[in-house]
Amino acid sequence: MSPTPTPNPEDSDPERNQTPQDGFQESASSDSASSDSASMSADESAIDRFFRGINEFIFHTKLGVVDVQLVDYVSDLMMRFVRVDSLYSLRRNDGMRTKHLLEMIGEAERRIGLAKREVYQHVGDFALFWSGMYPESLGRDEVAPKLDGRFIDYCQQGKRAYAIASGIEGGEGRPSCDLIHRMSEQFEMCAYGLREVRRYWEEGDQGTNTLVF
């Protein structure tokens, strides 16, 4: 399976190219839209169960990881980031999506408080996803432009981002500081586990599908 080309954030922006509909068109299409939404939700649920099953098999059974919270976090990360909109969800002050790791780090450094934590956590997630699922892609300019030793840099920056995020209290409903700190400490192991998830997927599907869509 060849790595998926990194999309242009502007091209994938759901807020662009929208045209207003009159009330009749919106009403006439509501039943169809509801049906499509329900079908999509069912498909996503099946995909979620499928990938979580693979992830748990690799981390718990093959790698012997007993940290359930960490494995669940990696599963959630993988399910979010196989969709391009989530992978490039961070926006600059001008509203444009950030595309590169260095841009994301710059945004994190400009934030304060909870916003800083969330952006640094996103940086860690982004770095882990690429270094785990598509390490060969880190040599491509659209992922990490004008950098030498890209794979090492992604690991280092991902570990650093998680470490910084873990030092800022997130509050109820967010991953604990302790869990984010463990993500920093176990970054390389998590990246290896994601590579095994990809390998397992490719072997089972003859490499015909991509994990990013």
pLDDT truncated to tens, each residue of the chain (213 aa)? 444 433 333 333 434 333 333 332 333 344 444 444 455 455 567 778 888 899 999 999 999 999 999 999 999 998 887 766 555 656 566 656 666 788 888 888 988 999 899 999 999 999 999 999 888 888 654 444 444 555 658 999 999 999 999 999 988 889 999 999 999 999 999 999 999 999 998 887 554 444 554
Burial of residue 138 (CB within 10 Å: 0-12, 13-18, 19+) is buried
Structural contact between residues 10 and 97, judged by C-beta atoms closer than 8 angstroms: yes
Provide the percentage of residues in the chain whose pLDDT is more than 90. 40
N-terminal to C-terminal alpha carbon distance within the chain: 14
**What does each C-alpha distance from 203 to 1, 107, 161, 199, 208 come to in angstroms?**
10, 38, 32, 6, 10
Please spell the DSSP secondary structure of the chain, one letter per residue.
Answer: -PPPPPPPTTTT-TTSS-----HHHHHHTHHHHHHHHHHHHHHHHHHHHHHHHHHHIIIIIIS----HHHHHHHHHHHHHHTSHHHHT--B-TTSPBP-SHHHHHHHHHH--HHHHHHHHHHHHHHHHHHHHH-GGGGGSTTTSTT-SSHHHHHHHHHHHHHHHHHTS---TTS--HHHHHHHHHTHHHHHHHHHHHHHHHHHHHTT-S-S--
pTM of the predicted structure, to 2 decimals: 0.71
**64 — alpha (psi -120 to 50), left (phi > 0) or beta?**
left
Distance CA 136, CA 130 (A): 9
